[in-house]
Amino acid sequence: MSTRIYRMLSYIASYFPLYILLIISNYNVFWGVDKLKQIAKFENKPISIFILVLVVLVLIAFLFQLLVSKILKITERHKFKTMKRHDDKILNYVVTYIVPMLSINVSNTSTLISNLGLFVLFGFLYVKNSLVHLNPMLLIFGYNIYVDEDDVIVISNRTLYQLNSNAGERVHARRLSENIYLIRK
């Protein structure tokens, strides 16, 4: 899989908490059999498209998690130096990007379009700058973000102690992007 596709999937998955919050905050739009029928028939196109896109994004987020935890083959071997934790930037990511998007009013087309533009802009920046480690879903599913002495970022479900006990040795890792690696148990 190309690193660009991986970065795009990572970006979409990083907003999974937002998707859930959007569903909760807009439950009145689709709660009930009659409203679900209206959505399915596209009687209110903006709301129907919004719900359809939201469902697709949730499915992509689950696909990404499955990819990271099970599917990606880790056949390469790489050396890493002593590491330290590096997940402090995720909170900034959540606050800066997710909170403004919670203002989405699904009944207002201009709000949907402006937030879509914001989502696309953030996606471009996320993919272009290889920010795959800024993904709250990784933390939710037991992965931590580490950085070694050479500023190489490691995403792993191993503990800091386990990783540092192998410092300087070749370990199985998967390169996700430039200077970003995945190490699994």
- Per-residue pLDDT of 147-178, as tens digits, reads 999 989 999 999 999 999 888 888 888 888 88
Would you give the distance in Å from CA 147 to the centre of its chain? 19
Percent of the chain with pLDDT over 90: 8
- Contacts for 110 with CB less than 8 Å, ≥ 6 apart: none
Q: What is the DSSP string of 95-117?
A: IIIIHHHTT--TT-HHHHHHHHH
The pLDDT of residue 100 is: 66
Sequence-distant (6+) residues with CB within 8 A of 53 are none
- The closest of 97, 100, 122 to 111, measured between CA atoms, is 100
DSSP-assigned states of every residue in 55-86: HHHHHHHHHHHHIIIIIS---EEEE---EEE-
Cβ atoms within 10 A of the Cβ of 141, count? Answer: 13
Sign of the Cα pseudo-torsion (162, 168, 169, 170, in order): positive
pTM beyond 0.85: no
Mean per-residue pLDDT, 135-156? 88
Q: Is pLDDT at 91 greater than 60 in this prediction?
A: yes
Per-residue confidence (pLDDT) for residue 1, from 0 to 100: 55
Distance separating alpha carbons of residues 176 and 174, to the nearest angstrom = 6
Which of 82, 89, 64 shows the shortest CA–CA distance to 1? 64
Q: Rounded to an integer, what distance in angstroms lies between the CA atom of residue 149 and that of residue 82?
A: 6
Q: Is pLDDT above 60 for 133? A: yes
How far out from the chain centre does Cα 142 lie? 14
Placement of tokens 């409203």 in the chain: 35
Q: For all residues of the chain together, what is the average pLDDT?
A: 81
Res. 27 pLDDT band, cuts 50 70 90? confident
Distance between start and end Cα atoms, the chain:
21
Of 70 and 34, more confident: 34
Tens-place pLDDT, residues 66-82: 777 666 677 788 889 89
